[in-house]
Chains A and B, each alone.
Chain A
């Protein structure tokens, strides 16, 4: 059995694959956060809470509506996206003229409220959500058993990320969005309804978070605090990738998942912190992030 630094290569490949799977959650979540920041200049600290709401909606759909996972993938992002739209219209809109930091504080406060309310109602032990029947079981790859569901997670998130990137960077709609943030009055003058685009964009970013939540529900427990410590990690991913760079978030999300996976093998206690070390290093060398543009 060959080893690399004392770890058998087989086990190493397994860990890399796991890292990639975790990376897909980071990528999807940071994608939503990045879309919102890149296009709207809002730092959506409530992203973790919205991810959690997506998982809960999936749970409710199953408990009360008998609607399974596949419905949840469609319905949960819509529901949470609508909630996001309402939030934007009623609260976030008022902060656009102010410093970014107020947006951060507002969404931070919202996250506290949402998480607190859910915790009051549901406790923190977590609610069960089964893996959908079509995706149970696993494939023996020789060096590990890869659960089918996790393979699905990677494929689905990669797909979603690529579609989103394509829409924003390569289509007309995306071009309008990008133009609207750079020069809203000019774009408005061309007859494009800028405020509505902004609202829909926020809703879309939030829907992405909720979608990640539905993906997460069968793997992690559906619990009110599932987004709480995740948010600062995702935040770090976005910062490293470059705030506002869609591609940056996607690449960094996957890459960091792999780095974290490797850390778990060699120095597991540090696995929560390695991302921040990297963030500090990147910020010192390149303050706008790896792919970022200065704003």
Chain B
């Protein structure tokens, strides 16, 4: 009897460490970066996010700690059907443990549901919809970098307070555009401003001249661009042609990335005001990161989405290390328990609804004469403290939040 117990004990002890490792599914932590690699979001996320993820794995020192981490990536082409098919295949067949990035709110929502059904983990950096921590919140998802509420709150508040109290919206006619417009309008009205008019344009419009004319005719002080990617850059370019800014109105880009500014060029983009949660030139740590990133990504400097991917992967790996398991639901819970700290966003927390909290920055694009080097594009107009930057916990209608 004792001998039997001894044998069992010995076996258990011998297998102990093996068992602990085996709790990390098949010994490998597999990270899948899912984003748009070929169309309108390819530059602000795309391959750069994969680079950011790799840098995070290296900086975490996975090799030295004996953790095997693999990174794969795929292009969802901004289509929910493509994105969800890839997510399913990754989870079912390729044994992916966590999916990263997913810009495009439609795709993110689809992947959010699949991740929840299969008990894996999703760390969203690219998508904007605040519903991910609202009605669609899930114990398997953390929304990292930004969301529509933060953008609306940051840009909307700041602009109205500095005198921009009459607005005209040019909105992309789909869910994301409507949401952004709705959130900003709410902020404007709350601050005593007025919305003088709105116009909706089809997604991927090449010519905004007609909408810009309407904006001009309204004589609103601020022309709010509730769109993204090519639509935003086109609006801005053409606004310059029609003398919108010269005529005394200001443009408010509600979702703009540093790669858009780079594409537009400073002469056209100067004076734009918008909100971001990261800028490469904020501190020595971010500058060091940007330098390393640029070397690995054709000289491109990181957008806030890339920074978000880096930060999320770092925190994820810390949680897996502490938990010794990569079970999706458990790791997400652990990530919420542990406060975050990384060179890019500093110290932060993750709320119970899956929202990562960090400060936001109101930035203005420099004039060409003010910029001393390529990518030196922003002036920081204001810093919004973390507690105020995101939607209050009780306003989100997230079922995970206990009243």
Contact = CB atoms under 8 A, between A and B. Distances in A.
A124 B259 contact: no
Nearest to A11: B217
B29 to A, nearest CB: 30
A128 B260 contact: no
Contact of A124 (B42, B207, B211): B42
A269 B201 CA distance: 6
A124 B216 contact: no
Contact of B216 (A144, A150, A221): A144
A120 B238 CA distance: 26
Nearest to B173: A269
B243 A138 contact: yes
Interface in A118-150: 119-120, 123-128, 130-131, 138, 144-145, 147, 149-150
Contact of A127 (B207, B216, B234, B263): B263
Contact of A125 (B209, B241, B260): B260
A268 B199 contact: yes
Interface string A30-65: 000000000000000000000000000000000000
A264 B230 CA distance: 19
B230 A18 contact: no
Nearest to B213: A14
A227 B313 CA distance: 38
A283 B204 CA distance: 27
Contact of B207 (A11, A144, A149, A220): A220
B233 A221 contact: yes
Given A125-B259, A225-B39, A11 B214 contact: yes
Q: Which of B42, B217, B259 has most A Cβ within 10 Å?
A: B217
Contacts of B265: 128, 130
Interface string B200-218: 1110111101110110110
Interface in B235-282: 237-238, 241-243, 247, 259-260, 263-265, 267-268
B263 A126 contact: yes
B213 A219 contact: no
A10 interface: yes
A125 B233 contact: yes
Contacts, number: 108
Contact of A10 (B217, B241, B243): B217
Nearest to B38: A119
Interface string A219-249: 1110101100110000000000000000000
Contacts of A15: 210, 213
Nearest to A127: B263
B40 interface: yes
Nearest to A140: B243
B80 interface: no
A10 B238 CA distance: 20
B207 A123 contact: no
A126 B243 contact: no
A221 B234 contact: yes
B301 to A, nearest CB: 14
Contact of B201 (A8, A120, A127, A268): A268
The listed residue with most A CB atoms (<10 A of its CB), out of B44, B199, B201, B213, is: B213
Contacts of A221: 230, 233-234, 237, 263
Contacts of B200: 268-269
Contacts of B260: 125
A265 interface: yes
Interface string A268-279: 110110000000
Interface string A1-44: 00000001011001100110110000000000000000000000
Given A8-B217, A15-B213, A145-B247, A125 B42 contact: yes
A147 B213 contact: no
Contacts of B97: none
Contacts of A264: 210-211
A229 B204 contact: yes
A209 B268 CA distance: 27
Contacts of B234: 126, 220-221
A205 interface: no
B210 A125 contact: no
Contacts of B263: 125-128, 221
A123 B233 CA distance: 14
A292 interface: no
20 contacts: A22-B207, A123-B38, A124-B39, A124-B42, A125-B40, A125-B44, A125-B230, A126-B230, A128-B237, A144-B216, A145-B242, A147-B241, A147-B243, A150-B209, A150-B241, A221-B237, A265-B210, A265-B214, A269-B201, A271-B201
Interface of B: 38-40, 42-44, 46, 173, 199-202, 204-207, 209-211, 213-214, 216-217, 229-230, 233-234, 237-238, 241-243, 247, 259-260, 263-265, 267-268
10 closest A-B pairs by CB: A264-B210, A147-B241, A18-B209, A125-B43, A124-B39, A128-B265, A145-B243, A11-B217, A14-B213, A272-B202
Given A21-B209, A223-B230, 17 more contacts: A8-B217, A11-B213, A15-B210, A124-B39, A124-B42, A125-B233, A126-B230, A128-B263, A128-B264, A147-B242, A149-B241, A220-B237, A264-B210, A268-B201, A268-B202, A269-B202, A272-B205
